Structure 1
Amino acid sequence: MDPNELDKIIDLLDRDVELREKIKDQVTLLDKKTRTTIGILNRIHSTPSEAMPALIESVQPTLLSYREVISTLVEIIPENQFWRWKDMWTNSIRTAVFAAVLIEYLSNRTLLSLAQTAEILGIEEKWGDRLALPVEDYLQGLITVVNELSRLAVNAVTMGNFEEPIKISLFVKDLFTGFSMLNLKNDLLRRRFDSLKYDIKKIEEVVYDVSLRKLAPAPGSSGIPKVHS
């Protein structure tokens, strides 16, 4: 091999290693922030309803701090290389989506759209060739929210909040209806969607028990937005 050509190849490999390390550093920082967020959000399972607003308020600064990390990450990634590097931060972004969507539900009982979630995380549309919020990652985050809410439905009752399971049931069923309208080709996403049936069953059992014991009003309609395909 020509020595000059070999030097070029070595230089390109070195640059790739350097770039990977820079991306890894930012992803590690984002992971640290998402772990902090999830750690605080785990307290929802042992927090009385009257103290929930203060808990949610306490986690907002950490959620908003994702933007700075993501902005720095975008500056590192070369143009048109989103798909080359995205696997390095996919899990981190899905966790961030989960946190943002769960916080919105707990705050306002509404569902963040894909665009709204990207805005909260500070992911700008103009960055699409370097970093974006793929639909699959958004949907994976939503499924994790349902997993968490099925757990909350049980724990809310132990905290004496008998209306929470009913609110969760309305939200989750509406979300499931939206998912059912999607033509899911991804095998992993499809399997996770199918698992939602178990979460819904778990929530329905809690609602049935609460209703049977007349511990809360019968379920009614609510202003929860639908999920559109």
Structure 2
Amino acid sequence: MNTQLDYINDLLEKDSELRDKIRDEVHDLDKKTRVMAGILNKLHSTPPDKVAPLLDSVRPIIQSCQKNSSALAEIIPPNQFWRWKDMWSFSLRNAIFSAALVEYMTSRTLISLEQVSATLGIDDAWKDKFALTAEDYLHALITLVNELSRLAVNSVTMGDFDEPLKISTFVKDVFAGFSMLNLKNDTLRRRYDSLKYDLKKIEEVVYDISLRNLHGAKAQEVTPDPTKSSE
């Protein structure tokens, strides 16, 4: 009996040690995602000609996430991916979101699952220990659309009337892609439903720009005269 209890106690101690190692690595990844989120939030108040340097400051941080991916893959025992996955899902989704936003702002395209895996240094050979699931990827894309709906509104405030039109085209394509998926995950399904509100918000911004014929206009051309009261 004592031998059996000792064996069980040894297993519990090993699990506790492994959990602590994973938590430390995830904590470091989480710190990086918070830094990236803070920098990327500046997009909402950055003129278009200053966006490139801002994105350049994020790329090295994204690259450094490869160390965390490699470390987690080394820590997790074989065939235990699903056992520990929940410990890093939130942080990984935030890292995917940052990579996706940088890719959109750079190339105006959607980063693929394979691209983001390569960007974060996630090797397919680790799939039984540490991998990027379609669910985590889709959650990050929904966060991307949430952020772009904010950017569409704030771009107008910055006097950039072309950005909302670009965002509208991109988000409509993403929404069309989501519409073809058979989403059975309740959380993912609820978050997908929120995309309809983001799309509506963006369409309202685009409609207002079109109605006022501001497409292609410069900020100074439409800046109201502060000495004149609004009608």
Instruction: Give the TM-score category using the shorter length.
Output: over 0.9
Aligned positions of 1:44-193 closer than 5 A: 44-193=43-192
CA offset at residue 74 of structure 1? 0.9
Which deviations, in whole Å up to 9, do the C-alpha atoms of 1:47-85 show, x marking residues without a partner? 000000111011111111000111111111000000000
Which deviations, in whole Å up to 9, do the C-alpha atoms of 1:156-184 show, x marking residues without a partner? 01101000000000000000000001111
Equivalent in the alignment of 1:226:
none
Secondary structure of the equivalent of 1:65? Answer: helix
Read off the aligned partner of 1:144 and give its amino acid letter: T
Equivalent in the alignment of 2:15:
16
Read off the aligned partner of 1:89 and give its amino acid letter: W
Task: Tell me how far apart the structure 2 counterparts of residues 166 and 97 of structure 1 sit (CA, whole Å).
Answer: 24
TM-score (norm 1): 0.93
Task: Tell me how far apart the structure 2 counterparts of residues 46 and 67 of structure 1 sit (CA, whole Å).
Answer: 29
Is 1:208–2:207 an aligned residue pair? Answer: yes
Task: Tell me how far apart the structure 2 counterparts of residues 6 and 204 of structure 1 sit (CA, whole Å).
Answer: 63
TM-score (norm 2): 0.92
Read off the aligned partner of 1:44 and give its amino acid letter: L
Secondary structure of the equivalent of 2:160? Answer: coil
CA offset at residue 187 of structure 1? 1.0
User: Identity across aligned pairs (percent)?
Assistant: 62
Equivalent in the alignment of 2:34:
35
CA offset at residue 16 of structure 1? 0.4
Larger Rg: 2
Which deviations, in whole Å up to 9, do the C-alpha atoms of 1:181-217 show, x marking residues without a partner? 1111111111111110000000001001111111105
Give the aligned CA root-mean-square deviation in angstroms: 0.7
Task: Tell me how far apart the structure 2 counterparts of residues 10 and 139 of structure 1 sit (CA, whole Å).
Answer: 39
User: Which segments of 5 or more consecutive residues in structure 1 lack a partner in the other structure?
Assistant: 218-229
Task: Tell me how far apart the structure 2 counterparts of residues 80 and 66 of structure 1 sit (CA, whole Å).
Answer: 23
Equivalent in the alignment of 2:228:
none
Task: Tell me how far apart the structure 2 counterparts of residues 105 and 193 of structure 1 sit (CA, whole Å).
Answer: 19
Read off the aligned partner of 1:173 and give its amino acid letter: K
